[in-house]
């Protein structure tokens, strides 16, 4: 685990988020703003705090994945409401794209505001985004998105560090930009990575990486390893590793399908290029139901959850584990996972030390 002093750059006092840099894995609950309306997500955050979770991760997209059962709240407002409604939960974006409809300076401003409102409980998760065509923006090849992200990371780092920033980049410009409500503590920045290129960028330029885990062994080799190598080459401490994993709870196919309704377009074949949630829904509904369900890790009992997340914990040894799951009764699932699953996952970490 990294040096906390290095992380916070010599800040006079450590934020509430400081506890993440202990030797224990922290476990977050995922709040999908494409799935539930904002007021429901605030209720879920309260329930997660009561159930013993260490934090919550909030997704951020303009459009949901289907038009008939999805939602589309504003993640930054949700984060402010959750900060006000909870006392100890750490908060993170999972993830926001500071590339098009958000200028990186605006993301830095939003992050600083949430950091202050939460008393230092916020980490900024960023990524290169998905299709933002609904807002009139292109979705260029990865090389341009990565170049934009590298510029964005530099702008945000300087602003969050208190600088007045004059920047004339290829993609972004600022003229005397400064945060006049700056963060009171260091805001960790974690970069979502699906492969070694983004992983190296996250390790070399950010505080950590976020891996959406499907194959733990693959992600250890392709994401965690390259991130650590890049950090070492840059003279930075080992990056924070955040691991997320989706599960679908249902005792039967019918129950699982009901739980999946708001998310069923998430893995439609044209997800990254289609701008219309109605088309994503149609694409998913044109597929055989079993083909859609087969793309998700199915669970029902507490032991199923332990079995689903144990390989992630044992292989990646993440600093933060984010439980992404959907069920027909989300509140009951939060309570059950907090009561029966979280303690077992914590035991796995202790046994592996």
Pick the closest to residue 53 from 327, 351, 323 (CA basis): 323
Quote the pLDDT of residue 21.
Answer: 52
Reported pTM? 0.94
* Nearest-angstrom CA–CA distance, 25 and 315: 13
Quick check: 33 and 62 in contact, CB under 8 A?
Answer: no
- 297-306 residues labelled b (16+ CB within 10 A) or e (exposed): bebbebeebb
Average pLDDT by consecutive 10-residue portion of the chain (353 residues)?
34 49 84 97 98 98 95 97 98 96 97 98 94 87 96 98 98 98 97 98 98 98 98 97 98 98 94 90 96 97 98 97 98 98 94 76
Quick check: 227 and 203 in contact, CB under 8 A?
Answer: yes
Cis before 95? omega within 30: yes
DSSP 172-227: -EEEEE--SS--SS---EEEE-SSHHHHHHHHHHSSEEEEE-S-HHHHIIIIIHHH
Quote the pLDDT of residue 1.
Answer: 29
Quote the pLDDT of residue 3.
Answer: 30
Tell me, what CATH number does 337's domain have?
A: 3.20.20.30
CA atoms within 13 A on the CB side of 124: 30
Domain range for 245 is 4-352
Domain count, the chain: 1
């Amino acid at each position: 685990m990294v040096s906390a002093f290095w992380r916070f750059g010599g800040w006079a006092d450590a934020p509430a988020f400081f506890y993440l840099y202990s030797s224990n894995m922290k476990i977050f609950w995922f709040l999908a703003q494409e799935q539930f309306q904002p007021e429901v997500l605030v209720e879920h955050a309260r329930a997660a705090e009561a159930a013993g979770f260490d934090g919550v991760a909030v997704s951020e997209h303009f459009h949901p994945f289907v038009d008939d059962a999805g939602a589309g709240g504003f993640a930054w407002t949700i984060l402010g409401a959750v900060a006000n409604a909870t006392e100890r939960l750490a908060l993170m974006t999972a993830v926001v794209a500071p590339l098009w409809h958000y200028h990186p300076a605006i993301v830095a401003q939003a992050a600083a505001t949430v950091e202050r409102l939460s008393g230092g409980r916020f980490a900024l998760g960023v990524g290169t985004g998905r299709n933002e065509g609904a807002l009139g923006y292109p979705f260029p090849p990865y090389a341009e998105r990565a170049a934009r992200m590298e510029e964005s990371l530099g702008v945000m780092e300087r602003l969050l560090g208190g600088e007045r920033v004059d920047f004339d980049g290829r993609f972004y410009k600022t003229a005397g930009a400064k945060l006049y409500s700056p963060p009171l503590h260091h805001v960790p920045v974690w970069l979502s990575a699906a492969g070694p290129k983004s992983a190296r960028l996250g390790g070399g330029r950010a505080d950590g990486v976020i891996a959406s885990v499907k194959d733990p062994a693959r992600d250890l080799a392709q994401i965690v390893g390259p991130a650590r190598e890049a950090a070492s080459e840059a003279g930075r401490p080992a990056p924070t590793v955040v691991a997320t994993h989706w599960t679908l709870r249902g005792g039967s196919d019918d129950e699982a399908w009901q739980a999946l309704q708001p998310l069923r377009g998430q893995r439609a074949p044209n997800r990254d290029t289609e701008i219309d949630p109605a088309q994503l829904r149609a694409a998913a509904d044109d597929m055989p139901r079993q083909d859609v369900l087969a793309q998700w890790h199915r669970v029902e009992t507490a032991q199923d959850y332990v079995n689903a997340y144990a390989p992630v914990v044992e292989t990646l040894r993440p600093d933060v584990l984010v439980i992404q799951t959907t069920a027909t009764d989300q509140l009951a699932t939060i309570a059950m996972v907090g009561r029966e699953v979280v303690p077992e996952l914590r035991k796995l970490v202790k046994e592996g030390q």
